[in-house]
Amino acid sequence: MVDPSVTGPRPRRVALAALGLVAVAGAGCSQDAPSALDPKGPAAERIESVWWLMLGIAVAVFVVVGGLIVASTMRGRGTDDGRPSRITANQWILVGGVAVPAVILAGLAVPTITTTADLTEDQPGALRIEVEGYKWWWEVRYPDSEVVTANEIHVPVGQPIELELTTADVIHSFWVPQLAGKVDMVPGQPNTLRFTAEEAGTYRGACAEYCGVQHARMAMLVVADPPATFERWMDDRQGPAPEPPNELASEGEDIFMRSSCAGCHAVAGTSARGQEGPDLTDFGSRQTLGAATVENTRGNLGGWIADAQSLKPGNLMPPISVTPDELLALIEYLENLK
């Protein structure tokens, strides 16, 4: 026998299904979620206008097809006076199912192709930045100044940016919806993404291609600074990391260098040259840790060092066994790398 509470009366099931759909759709919306419909640069604006055009055409098609379905159910077969319709079924299929869609799709191809071509065009005076995807974080290199950082990409407002996108392992996809379209990072196939940020601000981006258990926590920030602020940011990162400013920090540096930390992470100007994990030379100035998994606070950093697996299961960082005093020293050292 069928349990009536599971099947339920039909309207209730329909309402439950509708609620479920709304919940799933709504889960993607939050105040912090970046939207491609809130563009902050010309590339994203172009993509937005194609999006609206496609929505407009889709709505028009929906209304026409929906109207025809309603008309056909009300009218029944043949005409009002009982004679067969002058338009045959085959004619409906040829016109409505082949000719009209062909015209619409060909028409849509024009703005799509021209937009894609314009967005991939070389921009004179562009700043080149290399971004390499790792499971599950982003390495960021500024080849002209040898600055290396991670998970936070600083760019100057108003200057064209040219990102060279590569991957160290599987396919990832780089997507900052408010600035540009998404571009895949494919093994052995460097891709280029061009955009200009027109407004200072912090724009959240994410990996847009499923790449393993922590795909959802492979996010990054693009920070668009006014040009003078960007210059200062770049100057601050030239050369070695700053010296520890106090005794506790310098104790932390010793622990860092003699423990497994230095085997996996690099800090410019020190003996730490590990390549497995993110470069930590300017770690203290970053807003987040674990590729925007959590805010970069002392508490979160302590938790991350002691047991990164509890915050982001499956990442490469093993638990580090240190005494509480050693942990405080490590935190002091890392938070002062800025």
**What is the closest distance, in whole angstroms, from the C-beta atom of residue 210 to ligand CUA in the complex?**
6
Q: What angle separates helix 298-311 from helix 324-335, to the nearest 10 degrees?
A: 110
Residue 211 binds ligand CUA (CB under 6 A): yes
| Only segment of 145-153, 154-162, 209-217, 230-238 that touches ligand CUA (CB under 6 A) | 209-217
Cα–Cα distance measured from residue 108 to residue 12, given in angstroms and rounded to the nearest whole number: 40
Instruction: Name residue, tokens 């494919």.
Output: 186
Instruction: Name residue, tokens 């935190």.
Output: 331
298: tokens are 């002392």
| Only segment of 42-50, 124-132, 208-216, 292-300 that touches ligand CUA (CB under 6 A) | 208-216
**What is the closest distance, in whole angstroms, from the C-beta atom of residue 175 to ligand CUA in the complex?**
10
**What is the closest distance, in whole angstroms, from the C-beta atom of residue 218 to ligand CUA in the complex?**
4
Q: Which is nearer to ligand CUA, 207 or 266 (CB)?
A: 207
Cα–Cα distance measured from residue 199 to residue 207, given in angstroms and rounded to the nearest whole number: 23
Q: Which is nearer to ligand CUA, 134 or 203 (CB)?
A: 134
Q: Which is nearer to ligand CUA, 139 or 209 (CB)?
A: 209
Residue 204 binds ligand CUA (CB under 6 A): no
**What is the closest distance, in whole angstroms, from the C-beta atom of residue 40 to ligand CUA in the complex?**
23
Residue 213 binds ligand CUA (CB under 6 A): no
Q: Of 129, 207, 280, 305, which lies in the binding site for ligand CUA, with binding defined by CB under 6 A? A: 207
**What is the closest distance, in whole angstroms, from the C-beta atom of residue 21 to ligand CUA in the complex?**
25
Cα–Cα distance measured from residue 44 to residue 176, given in angstroms and rounded to the nearest whole number: 9
| Only segment of 81-89, 192-200, 207-215, 279-287 that touches ligand CUA (CB under 6 A) | 207-215
Q: Total number of residues binding ligand CUA (CB under 6 A)? A: 9
Q: Of 46, 172, 194, 237, which lies in the binding site for ligand CUA, with binding defined by CB under 6 A? A: 172
Residue 139 binds ligand CUA (CB under 6 A): no
Distances (CA, A) of 168 to 45, 189, 212: 31, 11, 14
Residue 332 zone, left/alpha/beta (φ > 0; ψ -120 to 50; rest): alpha
Amino acid identity at 133: G
Question: Based on the number of CB atoms within 10 Å of its own CB, is 111 exposed (0-12), middle (13-18) or buried (19 or more)?
Answer: middle
Amino acid identity at 222: V
**Mask of contacts with ligand CUA, 235-274, x by CB under 6 A?**
----------------------------------------
106-135 residues in contact with ligand CUA (CB under 6 A) are 133
What is the DSSP track for 282-331? TGGG-SEETTTTEE--HHHHHHHHHHHHHHSTT-SPPPP---HHHHHHHH
Residue 279 binds ligand CUA (CB under 6 A): no
Residue 193, H or E segment:
strand 191-195
| Only segment of 84-92, 202-210, 274-282, 312-320 that touches ligand CUA (CB under 6 A) | 202-210
Q: Which is nearer to ligand CUA, 158 or 212 (CB)?
A: 212
**85-57-111 Cα angle (round to 5):** 130
Q: Which is nearer to ligand CUA, 34 or 156 (CB)?
A: 34
**What is the closest distance, in whole angstroms, from the C-beta atom of residue 134 to ligand CUA in the complex?**
8
Total residue length of the chain: 338
Residue 290 binds ligand CUA (CB under 6 A): no
Beta-bridged to residue 184, according to DSSP, are 173
Q: Sheet holding 137-142: strands in order across?
A: 147-150, 137-142, 127-134, 161-167, 191-195
Cα–Cα distance measured from residue 338 to residue 321, given in angstroms and rounded to the nearest whole number: 25
Interface positions with ligand CUA (CB under 6 A): 133, 136, 172, 207, 209-211, 215, 218
